[in-house]
Structure 1
Amino acid sequence: MSQTKFNVRKVAVLGAGVMGAQIAAHLVNAKVPTILFDLPAKEGDKNGIVLKALEGLKKQKPSPLAAKDLVSFIQPANYEEHLHLLKDCDLVIEAIAERMDWKADLYHKVSPHLGERTIFATNTSGLSINKLAEACPDNVRPRFCGVHFFNPPRYMHLVEIIPCHTSDAEILDNLERFLVTTLGKGVVRAKDTPNFVANRIGVFSMLATIANAEKFGIRFDVVDDLTGPRLGRPKSATFRTADVVGLDTFAHVVKTMEDTLPQDPWHAYFKSPEWLQKLIAAGALGAKTKAGIYKKEGKQMFVLDPIKGEYVGSGEKGDDAVKEILKIANPAEKFKKLRESQHPQAQFLWACFRDVFHYIAFHLADIANSARDVDFAIRWGFGWSVGPFETWQAAGWQQVAQWIEEDIKAGKGLTSADLPGWALETDRSGVHFAEGSYDAASAKLVGRSTLDVYQRQLAPARVLGEAQGPLGETVFENDGLRAFTTGDGVLVASFKSKAHAIGPDVLAGLNTALDIAEERFKALVIWQTEEPFSVGADLSSMMPAFMMGDWAAIEETIRRFQATSMRLRYSQIPTVAATQGYVFGGGCEFAMHCDRVVAALESYVGLVEVGVGLLPGGGGCKEFALRASQEAKGDVLAALKDYFMAIATAKVGTSAIEAQEIGYLRKTDVVVFNAYELLYVAKQQALAMAESGYRPPLKVKGFPVAGRSGAASIKGQLVNMLEGHFISQHDFTIASLITDVMTGGDVEQGTLVDEQWILDLERKGFMQLLKNSKTQDRIANMLTTGKPLRN
C-alpha cells in the first residue's frame, strides 16, 4: 500500500512569546503560511498581543526573519475570535508558558477545532509529554507529541521530537520529514524524561561548571575565557550563555530538574545558586535587561563577583600555561596534562569534563536512544563542535573511564554514584562504531534512521568513529582542489584551501575540473565539504609578488580569475554553485557566473572587496553592469544604482533570500533550508539542465551602459557623502573607480559594450587601487587582525 503524502499547507502557532513568534518567523522563511495566536488584548485591537510580537520580530538581532517583508505572511489571531481557523492547519504547535495547568486549559479549548488529521505538538522544553497528552481528548492523542525547538529557532539546527505512548508512528515520521527538509532541522527523537536530551545534559554541564568554578575559586570571566572556543564551544561559553538565554529561563529549566528528578544522584546541584537568585530578584535577567552576570556601563564591561556580591571590572583571561595545554592536538595527551597539572584552572577544566562524562554514562540508558543522539543533541542544540561522548572516545575510552572511577573513589566527583558496568568493560573502545552507536538500554549498537528523507543527505553529519572516508571517487586532485564523482555523471569540485580562499592552486584546479567535466561528465557542481563556500580571493598568496612589486604577475592572476568566472558562465556543461556560510568576494563572483546557485538559507553573500580597499575584480562589477542593462526599462542608470550601492557599501545578504533581493543571487536560484541536502539538490538541478539539452548562453554581443553622464550623476552623490563626512577620501576614491567601471568608462550614455570591455576596466581599476598605499594599509590590517580598517 502506498503511503499518502503529508502536505503542510498551513501551520498555527499558539502563543506569541519569544519562542512562538520566532517559530512562526522561521515557518514563513520556509514559505509556510502561518497563523500566530495569543490571548485577546484587554483593550484596542483584539490581536494586539500578536501584533506587538510581530513588530518585535522586525527589530531582533540576529534577525529571525530571512527577509524583512516575510513578517506580513504571519496572520495574527486570538483565541476568542479565530479558533475556527485551526481546522485548515495541518500542524499546530503550542508554545505558551511552561505551566502544566495553562497548557491543559488551552488543549481543552482548541481540541474541538482541530482538523481530523492535524498534528498537534507542544514546544515544551521539559514538561512530560505523556502527562500533557492526558489533557487531550482520545481522538487527538495519536496525533500529539513534543516538538522542542532551540532558541533562536532560525539558527539552531536541533529540534527534538518527543513521542508519547499514544503517538502514531506515521505521524512522527511525517513530522520529521517536514522538520528536516522544509525547515532544515537536525532531528533527535528523545525519550519523555525531564528536559529531554539536550537541555538535560547541556544544563547539567553548566551547573557542573558553576559548581567547579566555586570549588576551585575561578572567576566567571576566566571560566568564560577557558570554556568557549578553546574547547570548541560557542563564544558565549558558560556564564555569557546564561545571560543570553535569560537568567530567569535558565533558572526555570534548573527548577524543572530540581522538581522532577528527586532520584538523580546529582540532585543536590539542581538548584540556582544564591547569587543567581539575587540577580533575578533584582530584575537583572541577562542580555534582555542589559544586566545579568555581566553588565556594560558605557564602554566598560563588568562581571559579577559572587563572593563580594558586586560587579568588578571584567576581562581577566585564563592562565597562559593552561591555555597551552588546551592547544595540544592529541586529546589523550591534553586530558593527561590537565589531570596531572596542579594549576587550579587545569584541575577545574578536568573536573568539568569528568563530571559531564560521569553524568552521560550514568544516564545514557534512561534519557537517549543512543550515544549518537546525545552527541548530536549537544552539537546542534548547544553549539559544541564535538559531542561529549565523542570527546571521551577520542581521548581513549579505557584510560578516561579509569580516571573517572579513581576520582569517584577518591571523593573528587560531584557524587559517589558508580559508573555503569558497560562503561568499564575491558574491551570497550568507545560508543560510536562503523556499524552504529551504543544504546545502553538494549546494550546494542543502533544504526542511523532509515527514514527516506535522509537519502537526500549525501554527506550527513557524522560522529567520530563512524565510517568516514572521503566522499565519492577522486577524479582529479591538486593542492587547491579535489574533484570527485559518486557515479551519477556529475563532477563535484571542492576547494581544499583555508576558508576556501581562491588562490593559484584553486584556479588551476577549477580549470582542470572544467576540462574534465566537459570531456567526460554531464555537469559540474562546486560544493565544499564544510562551510564557508569561500571567503574570496587569497590575498596572502599575492604577497610575494606584491613585496617584489611584480605587478604584471598580479595582473595575470586577476586576468586568470576573470577568465575562470567566464568559463563557469560559457562552459559546454551546466555549472552549479552549492553555497553555505560566507560567499564573499571572489566566491560570490564564481557563484554569480554559474548557471545556477543552490544556496543554503544561511548563505551570507556579498561583494565585500571595498573592505580591503579594492573593487570586485573577478567579474562582479561586470556582472552587475550586465544585469542592470538587462533589467533596465530604458533607464540603465536607475537599474544600476542599487547594484552600485551594494558593491560600494560591501552590502552582505544575511540570508540566501536577502541575497536574492539585493541581486547577488537570481530569483531563479534555489534556496535549500537543510545544508546537509545542498549537494543532493545541486546535483539534481545540474542533471535536470543536462537532461533538457543544455547549451551555454549565447555571448552578449553588446549591452548599453550608463556612460559618462551616469557616472557624473553617481559621483555627485558621492561628493555630498564626502562633504558630509559619511565617507573618507579613500572611500571616495574607491567608489569613484567602481562608478567608472560599472558605467562603462569614458563613453556616451547608451553605448553598447561587451563583457570583456567591462572586465578590462575592472582589472585596471583593481590594479590602480592595489598600488595605492591606503589600500595596502587596509589589506595589511585585514591580514594581521582579520578586521577592516577605515582610513
Structure 2
Amino acid sequence: MSRFQVRKVAVLGAGVMGAQIAAHLVNVKVPVVLFDLPAKEGPKNGIVTKAVEGLKKLKPAPLGVAEDAALIQQANYEEHLELLKECDLVIEAIAERMDWKLDLYRKVAPHVAPHAIVASNTSGLSITKLSEALPEEIKPRFCGIHFFNPPRYMYLVELIPTPTTRADILDQLETFITTSVGKGVVRAKDTPNFIANRVGIAGMLSTMKEAENYGLTYDVVDDLTGKKLGRASSGTFRTADVVGLDTMAHVIKTMQDNLADDPFYPSYATPPVLARLIEQGALGQKSGAGFYRKVGKDILRFDPAKGDYVPAGAKADEIVSRMLKKAPAERLKLLRESSNPQAQFLWAILRNAFHYAAVHLGEIADSAREVDLAMRWGFGMSQGPFELWQQAGWKQVAEWVKADIEAGKALCSAPLPDWVFDGRDGVHTPEGSWSASQGKYLPRSTLPVYQRQHFPESVYGSGAADPLKAGTEEFRNDEIRVWTLDGEVLIATITAKLHLISPTVTEGLMKAVELAEAKYKGLVIWSPDDVFSAGANLEALMPVFMAKGSKGIAPEEKKLQDAMLRIRYAQVPVVSAIRGMALGGGCELAIHSARRVAAMESYIGLVEVGVGLIPGAGGLTYIARRAAEMAQAGNAGADILAFLKDGFTSAAMAKVGTSALESRKLGYLLDSDVIVPNKDELLHVALTQAKAMYDSGYRPPHKAVFPVAGRSAKATIVGQLVNMRDGGFISQHDFHLASLIADVVCGGDVEAGSLVNEEYLMGLERKHFCALLDHPKTQERIMGMLQTGKPVRN
C-alpha cells in the first residue's frame, strides 16, 4: 500500500480554531505553516504573530510545551503563497462565511501542490458548495475536516466527502488524522452541521426547552445532565458558556437556514434566553458572563425572571440521583414513571434524543456507529443515544417513545422509522452497525491503520474483545492480570482501582518479570483506560500501620523498592505504556522501566508531598542518578547541583507534566522514549518496541556507583528553602519535606562527589518516608486525601 506522506501542513486562518489546529500539529511533530491576511500596520505577519503569542496564554493549553509556539511558521497571503507548494495538506479554517471561503479558495488554488489534499474545517457549511469554487483538478482532493474545540483535547474529527472526492484521498487523510494527529475519525454525510453538532445541538435545544417546561434552574439541569447522566461534567448550560453562546447561535442558525423540511424544525427556534444573553453581550466564558457569571470565588447563574444573576449551586434531588445509578432498563423505567419533575425532565430529554437520532440516522450518517462515536468523542458522553437505547431494552424503549409521540409529548409528531419495529433488539451487532440508508449492518472500517489498534473504542453490542479477558492468561491475582496477545511479549495489566500499587500488585509485577525472563521477549505494563497508575495504595497499608506503626511499613517499602530495581535490571526489556495518569508510585514504576511509550495526553509526576510524604520507591534515587549521568555527559565535573535543581524542584513542588511533551521536559520521559499521538495505538507501539529491543540484543544496564552532590549542595538548597519559608511562600511542613528530599537527592551527609549506589539512596528514602508516617502533619494530609480526594496544605 502506498503511504501518504505529510511533510508539512498549511493552515489557512489564524483565528481561534486555525491557530489551535496549528498548535496541535506542532505537538505531534508535524511541521506547519500558519497563514492569515497581511496586517494593515506594522509587520505583514502581525495577525499570525499575535495569534501564535496568544497560544502561550490560552487555558487549557493548546501546546504541550509553550515554547513550541516558535515551531509554527508564520505567513500571509500577500507574500508567502509560494509556501503552499511545499505542503501536502492544506486546512482552511477561516470564519464561517461561505463568500469569504470561496474567495480564499480562488486565491490559493493556483499555488496548491498537484498532489496535496485540501480540506475545509467548517462546522456546518456545505462541503459540496464549497468545492464548486475550486478548479476541476483540485475537486477530487477536497473534503471537509471538522476538528472540535479545543483541537488538542477533543478526540473527534469528522471527515466529510463531496460527490467528487476520491475514495483513496479520504482513506489517506483518515490514516494521517488517526495515527499522526491522534484523533478518532468519524465519516459524516454532507448535511447541515454534520453528525455531532446536528445531534448535539438539537439535544441542547431540547434540554433548554424541557428545562423551561419543568421549571428547572440551570445549575440543577447541569447537575442532572453532567456526570450523573454519563456526560461531560460541565452539563448543558456550562458547556454552552464554554463553547460560546454566539457560536452556539451560529450553529443553530445553520439549522434554521437549511433544515426547513425537517420535522423537528420548530424545535430549532433560538431560545429566547439565549438571544437575550447574546444581545446583552453575555457570550459565555470568553466574555465573563453567559448562563453563569463568576464574581470573585462565587458562581452566579442567570435568572430569566429577574433578568439578573443569583447564587448558583443547587443540585439534583437525591431520589433522582439514586435512579440514575440503576441499570439502564430500570433507570429509564423509573424516570418515565416518576412524578418528580427532575425525573420527568430526564426521561423527556432522553426520549427526544432517541426519537431524533432514529428519524435522522439515514440522512446524516452511514450507520448508528458513527452517531454514537461522534456523541462520545465530540460531546463527552459515555454512551451514544443508540447504545443507551439498546442497553435499556430496544423494544420496550421503542414502545415508550412511540406512545409519547402519539400522546403529543415529543418534540414533533414524526413517527419512528419502520426499521425500529422490525423485530430487532438494537442497532449494534458483532456483524456491524445498522445503516438506515443502506438497509443493512455495516462492519467497522478495515483500513490498515486500524490494525494497529488492538482494543479500539467500541460501541455497546458490537461484541468487541474485552482487554481484561483477551489473549492467553499466564497469571492473575486480585489486582493484576499477566497475559499475552502474541506469545512473544508478556503484558501486565493492573486491575485495582486507579491502578494503585499495593503489596498484591508488587507481588504480581515480580511474577510477571520472572515469567517474561523465562519465556518471552519482554514485558509491557499497560492498562486499557486513562490511568497508568495513580500511585501507591496507602489505604492497603493502613492495617499494617495501625498494628505496627511506621516500623511495620519499612519492610513493605523495601519490597516495593526491590521490585523497582528488579524491573530496572530485568534480563528482558520492561516497557511502560503510559496512558493518562502516572503519578507518585506510578511515575516511579515508569522511570524504572527500560523504556516508556506514552500517549500524548499523559500526566506524569512525583506528587507525594501532597500527602505529606516524599517519593519512597526510588523516585528521588532516579533524580540523583540522572543528575550524575547528565553531569558526566556534560563534562561538568563535580558540579552535579546544576543538573539536580530541576529534578529537586519537580519533586518538592509535586510538578506534574501536563502532556507527554512537558513530562519529557521535566525528565520523567527521556529522548529515547516514544510519544504516541493516538491512545488506541499505544499497546501496539509498546509491544513493537519491546520486541525490537529484544531482537537487537537487549541487555539491562550495569549496576554501578555514581557521584552525588553531597552536603554542600544540600546546604545551598536548604538555604533557599529557609528564605521561602520565612517569606511565607511555603509552610513549615513543606520546608521539612523539601529538606528531606534535598537530603536524599544530594546523597545525605557525605562529601561532594562521593560515590553511592541505588540501594544506599533508597535506604535514605525509606528512612525519611517511614519517619514522616509518624508526623502529625503528614497524618493530617493522608487522612484529608483519603476522605476528600484533595490535598491538604498545612
TM-score by length of 1: 0.99
Output the amino acid matched with 2:653. Answer: T
| 1:677 paired to 2:674 | no
1:789 aligns to what? 792
2:472 aligns to what? 473
| 1:407 paired to 2:407 | no
| In structure 1, C-alpha distance between the alignment counterparts of 2:373 and 2:313, rounded to whole Å | 32
| In structure 2, C-alpha distance between the alignment counterparts of 1:168 and 1:255, rounded to whole Å | 31
1:176 aligns to what? 174
| In structure 2, C-alpha distance between the alignment counterparts of 1:526 and 1:587, rounded to whole Å | 11
Offset at 1:784? 0.4
* Deviation per residue, 1:320-356 (Å, 9 max, x gap): 111111121x110011000000011100000000000
Q: 2:389 aligns with which of 392, 398, 402?
A: 392
| In structure 1, C-alpha distance between the alignment counterparts of 2:3 and 2:178, rounded to whole Å | 15
| In structure 2, C-alpha distance between the alignment counterparts of 1:84 and 1:736, rounded to whole Å | 58
Output the amino acid matched with 1:347. Answer: Q
1:743 aligns to what? 746
- SS, match of residue 604 in structure 2: strand
1:613 aligns to what? 612
| 1:523 paired to 2:522 | yes
1:422-441 to 2 correspondences below 5 Å: 422-425=419-422, 427-441=423-437
1:497-536 to 2 correspondences below 5 Å: 497-536=496-535
Q: 1:67 aligns with which of 65, 68, 85?
A: 65
Q: 1:332 aligns with which of 310, 313, 329?
A: 329
| In structure 2, C-alpha distance between the alignment counterparts of 1:172 and 1:741, rounded to whole Å | 55
1:36 aligns to what? 34
Output the amino acid matched with 1:478. Answer: N
| 1:315 paired to 2:318 | no
CA contact (8 A) 1:191 1:367 kept: yes
1:444 aligns to what? 440
2:49 aligns to what? 51
* Deviation per residue, 1:504-529 (Å, 9 max, x gap): 11111111111111111110000002
| 1:640 paired to 2:644 | yes
Offset at 1:290? 0.7
| In structure 1, C-alpha distance between the alignment counterparts of 2:128 and 2:470, rounded to whole Å | 42
Offset at 1:789? 0.4
2:561 aligns to what? 562
* Deviation per residue, 1:476-525 (Å, 9 max, x gap): 11101001111241000000100100011111111111111111111000
| 1:763 paired to 2:766 | yes
2:692 aligns to what? 688
| In structure 2, C-alpha distance between the alignment counterparts of 1:45 and 1:502, rounded to whole Å | 55
Q: 2:373 aligns with which of 360, 369, 376?
A: 376
Offset at 1:716? 0.4
Runs of 5+ unmatched residues, structure 2? none
1:102-181 to 2 correspondences below 5 Å: 102-181=100-179
| In structure 2, C-alpha distance between the alignment counterparts of 1:343 and 1:355, rounded to whole Å | 18
Q: CA RMSD in A?
A: 0.9
CA contact (8 A) 1:40 1:48 kept: yes
- SS, match of residue 752 in structure 2: coil
Offset at 1:553? 2.8
2:722 aligns to what? 719
CA contact (8 A) 2:550 2:771 kept: no
* Deviation per residue, 1:72-100 (Å, 9 max, x gap): 11111111111111111100000001111
- SS, match of residue 395 in structure 1: helix
1:195-274 to 2 correspondences below 5 Å: 195-274=193-272
CA contact (8 A) 1:275 1:309 kept: no
Output the amino acid matched with 1:681. Answer: V
| In structure 1, C-alpha distance between the alignment counterparts of 2:103 and 2:711, rounded to whole Å | 70
Output the amino acid matched with 1:382. Answer: F
Offset at 1:57? 0.2
| In structure 2, C-alpha distance between the alignment counterparts of 1:402 and 1:309, rounded to whole Å | 41
* Deviation per residue, 1:135-180 (Å, 9 max, x gap): 1111110010000000010011110000001101111111111100
Output the amino acid matched with 2:238. Answer: R
1:595 aligns to what? 594
| 1:461 paired to 2:464 | no
| In structure 2, C-alpha distance between the alignment counterparts of 1:32 and 1:216, rounded to whole Å | 50
- SS, match of residue 161 in structure 1: strand
- SS, match of residue 666 in structure 1: coil
Q: Which moved more, 1:205-214 or 1:299-308?
A: 299-308
| In structure 1, C-alpha distance between the alignment counterparts of 2:178 and 2:742, rounded to whole Å | 44
Q: Which moved more, 1:712-721 or 1:459-468?
A: 459-468
CA contact (8 A) 1:501 1:538 kept: yes
| 1:346 paired to 2:343 | yes
| In structure 2, C-alpha distance between the alignment counterparts of 1:758 and 1:726, rounded to whole Å | 29
2:779 aligns to what? 776
CA contact (8 A) 1:705 1:744 kept: yes
| In structure 1, C-alpha distance between the alignment counterparts of 2:648 and 2:478, rounded to whole Å | 36
Q: Kindly, what percent of the aligned residue pairs are identical?
A: 59
CA contact (8 A) 1:338 1:346 kept: yes
* Deviation per residue, 1:228-264 (Å, 9 max, x gap): 0001111111000000000000000000001100011
| In structure 1, C-alpha distance between the alignment counterparts of 2:602 and 2:297, rounded to whole Å | 32
Q: Which moved more, 1:37-46 or 1:18-27?
A: 37-46
CA contact (8 A) 1:459 1:471 kept: no
| In structure 1, C-alpha distance between the alignment counterparts of 2:645 and 2:192, rounded to whole Å | 56
- SS, match of residue 732 in structure 1: helix
| In structure 2, C-alpha distance between the alignment counterparts of 1:506 and 1:4, rounded to whole Å | 45
- SS, match of residue 120 in structure 1: strand
Number of residue pairs matched?
Answer: 786
**Would you identify which runs of 4 or more consecutive aligned residues in structure 1 move more than 3 Å?**
none
| In structure 1, C-alpha distance between the alignment counterparts of 2:261 and 2:116, rounded to whole Å | 37
| In structure 2, C-alpha distance between the alignment counterparts of 1:46 and 1:282, rounded to whole Å | 35
2:484 aligns to what? 485
CA contact (8 A) 1:584 1:606 kept: yes
Offset at 1:549? 3.8
| In structure 1, C-alpha distance between the alignment counterparts of 2:85 and 2:751, rounded to whole Å | 62
| In structure 2, C-alpha distance between the alignment counterparts of 1:697 and 1:300, rounded to whole Å | 55
Offset at 1:271? 2.2
| In structure 2, C-alpha distance between the alignment counterparts of 1:471 and 1:304, rounded to whole Å | 50
Offset at 1:217? 0.9
Offset at 1:307? 3.0
CA contact (8 A) 1:709 1:749 kept: yes
* Deviation per residue, 1:525-560 (Å, 9 max, x gap): 000021210100001111112222433331111111
Offset at 1:106? 0.6
Output the amino acid matched with 2:435. Answer: D
2:579 aligns to what? 580
Output the amino acid matched with 1:772. Answer: H
- SS, match of residue 614 in structure 1: coil
Output the amino acid matched with 1:513. Answer: A
- SS, match of residue 172 in structure 1: helix
Q: Which moved more, 1:197-206 or 1:319-328?
A: 319-328
Offset at 1:306? 2.1
1:410-421 to 2 correspondences below 5 Å: 410-421=407-418
Output the amino acid matched with 2:361. Answer: L
Offset at 1:273? 1.3
| In structure 1, C-alpha distance between the alignment counterparts of 2:311 and 2:153, rounded to whole Å | 32
Offset at 1:638? 1.0
TM-score by length of 2: 0.98
- SS, match of residue 144 in structure 2: strand
1:629 aligns to what? 628
Output the amino acid matched with 1:680. Answer: H
1:661 aligns to what? 665
| In structure 2, C-alpha distance between the alignment counterparts of 1:773 and 1:145, rounded to whole Å | 63
* Deviation per residue, 1:292-318 (Å, 9 max, x gap): 110011222111122332222111111
